Structure 1
Amino acid sequence: MEKQNRIVGGLTLVALIAMVTAYFAPIWWVSLTAPNYPPDAFPDGIRIHFHFDGVYNGCKAAGKGTRMASEIIQKDLGHDDERYNPITDAKKDVDKGAQGLDCVHEMNTINHYVGMFPIATGAPVEKPLAKFFFAFFAVMMLAFAMPGKKPRLAVLTAGFLGVAAWMIVDQFFLGHLASHVDSYVKEAGTFFKEPEKIKVWGDNVTTISKIVIFGLIAVMAIVIAGVARVRSFQLLLALVPAMLPLYFVITYAGWLWFFGHNLHPWGAFTVKPFMPTVFGEGKVAQFSTFSYPYWGYGLLVLVFVCLMLALLIRRKQLREGSAE
């Protein structure tokens, strides 16, 4: 029994570390390629990385030896940068610290021509609250690793109280919910100026966020009550966070559908509603789209494998009557 408990604890710890790392990691990548983005200048195309808390630039500066690196200065020049001298600066690394093109902005620019809203307007509730869901899952996993009922309930109670307090202070007292909604409204109106319509969207984000916040607190209470009353309920402490790979794909695909089926009529080109590529390669006009999981998704799969193995061991213990 002790050996099995140690195995369950070890697997859960590995899953917890992988999950926390995955929160900061790129989970999925998308790249657009087209004739007007030559591989020499854009080796990865117009590439973006999807994280749980937002979408980030995936482009990098062209490598040494490429035509782009030899012909242009890739570094953003500031007021303190002197004019480039081809004689005295020939051996100087003028691209030191250079970053790639802001491909999130570039993709937004491309997409708005067909009426798509900016990428940042996607998942306006999920992104800012993701950290609290991860904390919620972390508490569940720590409690699952506890072999006894009393320490399990103690971890759940203390952990959930901490997460709930953090969430309320962060979102309401520190004003992060209000500032997020302001940023969302501003971003939504980047290309298509409809202030009244967008204000309604912002109000909806506020309302839904509040429902999710207090709904999550209610779920915390249900979890504590369930673990206290039903012995097998503890298996959900591992099963729920184990489904993170599925949660991400469903959310990702759902928002892609939203973007492709809610095209603004003010777009420069009129296209029929479509489903952007979730996995694999697709093509729209002259653009080829590539969409694949990145290394962060591998961490989510590791979370799934470890927690499911731990769950099976714990279920065996429950059947044999060797676990509380």
Structure 2
Amino acid sequence: MNGVFNGCEKQEKAEIAEEEALDCVHEMDTINHYVGMYPIAAGGPVERGFSQFLMAFLGVMLIGFIFTSPKQRMVVLSVGFVAIAAWMALTIYSSNGFELQNKGYVSALVTSLDQEATGETSEPEIVIGGIAGMLKESLEESGVEVILPSQVEAAKKAGQQSAGADKTHLIKQLKLTYDIDQVKSDSLKPWDGSAFQVMSWHYAKSLGRYFNNPQEIEPMVKNLELAVHLVFYAILGAMALVVFGSRKNSGLLYWLLIVVPIALPLFFVIDYSAWLWWYGHTLNDMGAFSVKPFMPTVFGDGKVAQFTTHSYPYIGFGLMVLMSLVLAMAALLRFKQLKD
């Protein structure tokens, strides 16, 4: 839940010869941009950035539910929520707070930019001269990103190698790319290492990967920044509300301690569906082909133009459902306990 990762596995078939697994994320981004769809990494930026805090929030709620004494429960919840709030504030807004993000999230940001996230020495950059070089330079000056076949191959290697790189090196890779963009931009401020700055910059870069139109991107980035602020304070408000509701062993606020974690799979499906709708209804006019807005298939097989899509739950979603069933049984036992 903290990033976009390649879900494809190496094919072992007689009719298919693969030395390494296909990077399905990159392939989908390439195909989707022809109809004006934004890259997959542009979806759920706030959810992914706050995922570790939300999971910790749910964990503290479950721990609080274990205690039957209201006083003990309030102490546990208060201590846990204060720790999460401090962690969240330092990560989002403090200088170099991005270092407090989990490695999976950082790695996902690096690989989504097609960077090589290892400590190894990269291969020399291929320099294109002549007419081809002039054409490439002209396109890039006009705002069109040119991706060479050699860069595609490097991106595939980066996706495999990023898992082995330490978080410090991954952040250095992001900072290096940010510094390059900052030199070219009049609006980017010097790197301060806060998660807020990284999220805002990375979102803008993802949106402009294929459709580099600042007039469209800047308002979307402003909306993201506003959403980050709102979610930050909404989580703080939710923490205070939960602590207030834990004063007694009854009432709606008390049962939220267990009902919210139980409903996690439902929240995931709602959020997932909403972003699929966004992808299908936020089509950029710079796409090579024009299609009507559409709703991608949430679960099952679907079709977009001549392409077939497959969307099915994986192990993580199954574990969430299993956890919900276990928690539902625990809630039922607690209800009977309080009733007796």
Please report the TM-score for the alignment, with normalisation by the length of structure 1: 0.71
Q: Which has the larger radius of gyration?
A: 1
Q: Deviations over 1:229-285 (max 9, x none)?
A: 563342211111110000000000111011111111221111111110111111223
Cα distance change on mapping 1:315 and 1:116 into 2, 3 Å: same
Query: 1: distance between equivalents of 2:321 and 2:72?
Result: 28
Which residue is equivalent to 2:32? 111
The residue identity in structure 2 corresponding to 1:53 is N
1:271 to 2:291 alignment: yes
Please report the TM-score for the alignment, with normalisation by the length of structure 2: 0.68
For the 8 Å contact 1:235–1:314, the answer to whether it is kept is no
For the 8 Å contact 1:135–1:163, the answer to whether it is kept is yes
| Helix, strand or coil at the partner of 1:192 | coil
Q: 1:292 aligns with which of 312, 326, 338?
A: 312
Q: 1:141 aligns with which of 62, 68, 82?
A: 62
Q: CA RMSD in A?
A: 1.5
Which residue is equivalent to 2:165? none
Query: 1: distance between equivalents of 2:210 and 2:52?
Result: 29
The residue identity in structure 1 corresponding to 2:228 is S
Which residue is equivalent to 1:171? 92
For the 8 Å contact 2:70–2:248, the answer to whether it is kept is no
The residue identity in structure 1 corresponding to 2:258 is A
Using the TM superposition, give the Cα deviation of residue 316 of structure 1 relative to its aligned residue in structure 2, in angstroms: 1.5
Using the TM superposition, give the Cα deviation of residue 286 of structure 1 relative to its aligned residue in structure 2, in angstroms: 2.6
The residue identity in structure 1 corresponding to 2:84 is V
Could you tell me which runs of 5 or more consecutive residues in structure 1 were left unpaired when the two chains were aligned.
1-51, 75-98
Query: 1: distance between equivalents of 2:292 and 2:215?
Result: 26
Pairing 1:251-262 to 2, within 5 Å after superposition: 251-262=271-282
Could you tell me which runs of 5 or more consecutive residues in structure 2 were left unpaired when the two chains were aligned.
98-193
Q: Deviations over 1:2-57 (max 9, x none)?
A: xxxxxxxxxxxxxxxxxxxxxxxxxxxxxxxxxxxxxxxxxxxxxxxxxx112211
Q: Which has the higher contact order (CA 8 A, sep 6+)?
A: 1
Which residue is equivalent to 1:120? 41
Query: 2: distance between equivalents of 1:172 and 1:269?
Result: 41
Q: 2:199 aligns with which of 160, 180, 190?
A: 180
Query: 2: distance between equivalents of 1:285 and 1:274?
Result: 10
For the 8 Å contact 2:265–2:317, the answer to whether it is kept is yes
| Helix, strand or coil at the partner of 1:281 | strand
Query: 2: distance between equivalents of 1:142 and 1:67?
Result: 49
Which residue is equivalent to 2:7? 58
For the 8 Å contact 1:114–1:271, the answer to whether it is kept is yes
The residue identity in structure 1 corresponding to 2:326 is C
Query: 2: distance between equivalents of 1:179 and 1:193?
Result: 19
Cα distance change on mapping 1:276 and 1:64 into 2, 3 Å: closer
Q: Deviations over 1:57-80 (max 9, x none)?
A: 1123333755514xxxx3xxxxxx
Q: How many percent of aligned residue pairs carry the same amino acid?
A: 45
1:209 to 2:130 alignment: no
Using the TM superposition, give the Cα deviation of residue 197 of structure 1 relative to its aligned residue in structure 2, in angstroms: 2.2
Query: 1: distance between equivalents of 2:16 and 2:80?
Result: 55
Which segment drifts farther, 53-62 or 103-112? 53-62
For the 8 Å contact 1:235–1:315, the answer to whether it is kept is no
Query: 2: distance between equivalents of 1:303 and 1:201?
Result: 36
Query: 1: distance between equivalents of 2:310 and 2:270?
Result: 18
Query: 2: distance between equivalents of 1:209 and 1:303?
Result: 28
State the number of aligned residues: 241
Query: 1: distance between equivalents of 2:260 and 2:304?
Result: 37
The residue identity in structure 2 corresponding to 1:58 is G
Which residue is equivalent to 1:22? none
Query: 2: distance between equivalents of 1:216 and 1:58?
Result: 31
Using the TM superposition, give the Cα deviation of residue 192 of structure 1 relative to its aligned residue in structure 2, in angstroms: 0.8
The residue identity in structure 2 corresponding to 1:277 is T
Query: 2: distance between equivalents of 1:291 and 1:167?
Result: 33
The residue identity in structure 2 corresponding to 1:63 is E
Q: Is the helix fraction higher in 1 or 2?
A: 2
For the 8 Å contact 2:248–2:254, the answer to whether it is kept is no
Cα distance change on mapping 1:64 and 1:190 into 2, 3 Å: same
Pairing 1:1-324 to 2, within 5 Å after superposition: 52-63=1-12, 67-69=16-18, 74=19, 99-173=20-94, 174=97, 175-229=194-248, 231-232=250-251, 233-320=253-340
| Helix, strand or coil at the partner of 2:308 | strand
Query: 1: distance between equivalents of 2:245 and 2:7?
Result: 43
Cα distance change on mapping 1:276 and 1:67 into 2, 3 Å: closer
Q: Deviations over 1:285-321 (max 9, x none)?
A: 332111111111111111111111111111122222x
Which residue is equivalent to 2:139? none
For the 8 Å contact 2:200–2:224, the answer to whether it is kept is yes
